[in-house]
Amino acid sequence: MKFNRLHIVPLLLLLFVAGCNNNTTDTKGPAKQTPTEIPELPYVLEGDYTPEVGVMLKVLMGNDTCFVMVDSLDDDTMHGHYYHIVAGSDSVHCESFEHDRHWRDRRKDATVYIYQEPNYTPEEDALYRRPIYRVKIDHDIEYGQALGFWCSKPGTEEDSYLEIIIDGLANSISRTTQSLTMDVYRPVDSTNQRHPLLMLLHGGAFYVGDKQDSCIRGLCRYFASTGYVTVSANYRLGFLPLKGEIERAGYMALQDAHAAMRYLVDHAESYGIDTSLIFVGGASAGAITALNLAFMRDANRPSSVNGRGQRNLGTIASSGNSSKATFTIKGVANMWGAINSLSMLNNNKCAIISFHGDKDMIVPYDIGYPFSDISRKIGKIMFEKMYGSAQIDLRASENGMHSKLYTYNGEGHSLHRHADGSWNQANWKSIRDRMILFFHDEISGPQPKIVADSNDRRHYYLDLNTVKDVRWHISGGFILKVDGGDIWVVWKEEEPNHQIKVTGKNERGFGFNLTTTRE
């Protein structure tokens, strides 16, 4: 049945008297109808009523479906518009109608219900994304002891190298037993739920720095306020100005980071840590250590740690404390760090997010030697070649790992500071927010996508069948049917924008909000 201006009249009449018998009716009473949401059984209009102006109705008569609205109504005339669904088409166009007062005297049978889309409220998942907790800090927790020069020295790589070395040499005569400590930042949570763990390590060229570093401290506090248990750990610093000594210092930092993580796993219950969700990160030397913690294994240890006239430093897990705990790193935040061997990335499939300035002269962005700002020759003498964030991201992507690199064009080392040493709030905030989203993706699990059905132009669906609490919304059309993660729609031809939105929760209970536009 093709709809036109003549055919719409009986359709409208049946709409307004559906369910009535052949007796005289009083059409001045209120409509006995209640708004319903899609999807549900159609509501059949019944009783005596006056139709309501401005209400969109979906009318089913035989095999025909039509969306109808009365725009004006008085004792003599009725004006309105309608959209007729044509078989095989995903578009509808608007037609107008006008009828005289005789509409009151006619009645036909039809199934009619008020068209009203489902309630649509986007999921607002603040957990692990936005600050929602107060933060409690436990300072100076000892996680182990080890032989070394020192574990804390104010300063950064940007300080005068000569001043740093001269100051350090006076304390590099002999190693003593060092107390290895950490600060633990915890969300104040009365639910006793377990939280992801994020351990962050300061930079300082394995020579200077402290767990109270402003960049690391700020990240720890912020992540804890979103729901993480966060840790800033001190590790052993200092070395004699010899190539092997610098390498050994980096290895001892790795041993300490490993000891700190073992300690946290052993105390997971008291700190409220979910040991299946462990993340690490750091800046500069701290990023090198974090990457080594995630990917270096004993088979990858540098040869300098095995002795050659010096103390054998042992295995990665042999120092700091006696804990035998094991752990798996789920993700790494690499802030202007590097590694000595790309083959180490084969040891773990964890996710990596990297931040690096492409003009970094202290830690190479691509491939090179550290501290090339002093002298390229000295860099080659003192250090092994290193692979920076560009190479890490490239190899990780080739390995099928979740990797994301943010390159800060034209910028150098320590992106959280300007060239003059002042705080770079914009960079620090961008790093923080990108880390939050990246790690949230790792925690929340698979997210669905909206797919257009190639066999049915009206049909769209979510590609995961484990979603729940699904709610749909469209702009520029009508919803014909909703069935969980499936929706059928038709689009108004006169509307310039055709869009579908959907919200819900995935299998882990994390919310998603998706949007697609009709192609």
% helix, strand, coil for the chain, step of 5: 25, 30, 45
Share of the chain above pLDDT 70, in %: 81
In contact, 205 and 285? CB cutoff 8 Å: yes
Q: Which of 109, 108, 81, 110 is nearest to 95 (CA)?
A: 81
Whether the CB-CB separation of 125 and 38 falls below 8 Å is answered with no
Contact of 120 with 501, CB cutoff 8 Å: yes
* 458-464 LR contacts (CB < 8 Å, sep 24+): 458/90, 458/488, 458/489, 458/490, 459/486, 459/487, 459/488, 460/486, 460/487, 460/488, 460/489, 460/500, 460/516, 461/485, 461/486, 461/487, 462/486, 462/502, 462/504, 462/514, 464/506, 464/507
Helices 425-444 and 214-226: crossing angle, nearest 10°? 40
Token readout for 30 is: 């209120």
Distances (CA, A) of 460 to 455, 478, 511, 515: 10, 13, 19, 12
Cα–Cα distance measured from residue 44 to residue 59, given in angstroms and rounded to the nearest whole number: 10
Instruction: Report whether 371 contacts 380 (CB < 8 A).
Output: no
Alpha helices in 357-508 (DSSP H): 376-382, 389-398, 425-444
The tens digit of pLDDT for each residue in 337-381 reads: 999 999 999 999 999 999 999 999 999 999 998 877 555 555 566
Spatial contact of 279 and 196, defined as CB atoms under 8 Å apart:
yes
What is the chain's pLDDT, residue by residue, as a tens digit (519 residues)?
333 443 444 444 444 433 333 322 233 333 334 333 333 333 344 444 456 788 888 877 767 788 888 898 887 788 889 898 888 899 999 999 887 655 455 545 567 778 888 889 998 888 899 999 999 999 999 999 999 999 998 765 555 555 555 565 556 667 899 999 999 999 998 788 899 999 999 999 899 999 999 999 999 999 999 999 999 999 999 888 777 788 899 999 999 999 999 999 999 999 999 999 999 999 999 999 999 999 999 999 988 888 666 788 999 999 999 999 999 999 999 999 999 999 999 999 999 999 999 999 999 999 998 877 555 555 566 667 899 999 999 999 999 999 999 999 999 999 999 988 899 999 999 999 999 999 999 999 888 999 999 999 999 999 999 999 999 999 999 999 999 999 999 999 999 999 999 999 998 889 999 999 997
Q: Kindly report, residue by residue over 228-285, the tens digit of the pLDDT.
A: 999 999 999 988 877 778 889 999 999 999 999 999 999 999 999 999 999 999 999 9
Going 351 to 320 to 362 to 422, the CA torsion angle's sign is positive
- 54 phi and psi, to 5 degrees? 85, 15
Q: What is the pLDDT of residue 333?
A: 98
Q: How far apart are CA 151 and CA 205, in angstroms?
A: 13
Q: Among candidates 361, 272, 358, 323, which has minimal Cα distance to 144?
A: 323
User: How far is it, in rounded angstroms, from Cα 280 to Cα 316?
Assistant: 16
What's the rounded Cα separation, in Å, for the pair 281 and 336?
11
| Type and span of the H or E element at 253 | helix 243-266
Could you count the other beta carbons within 10 Å of the beta carbon of residue 357? 21
Q: List b or e across 439-448, with b for residues whose CB sees 16 or more CB atoms inside 10 angstroms.
A: bbbbbbeebb
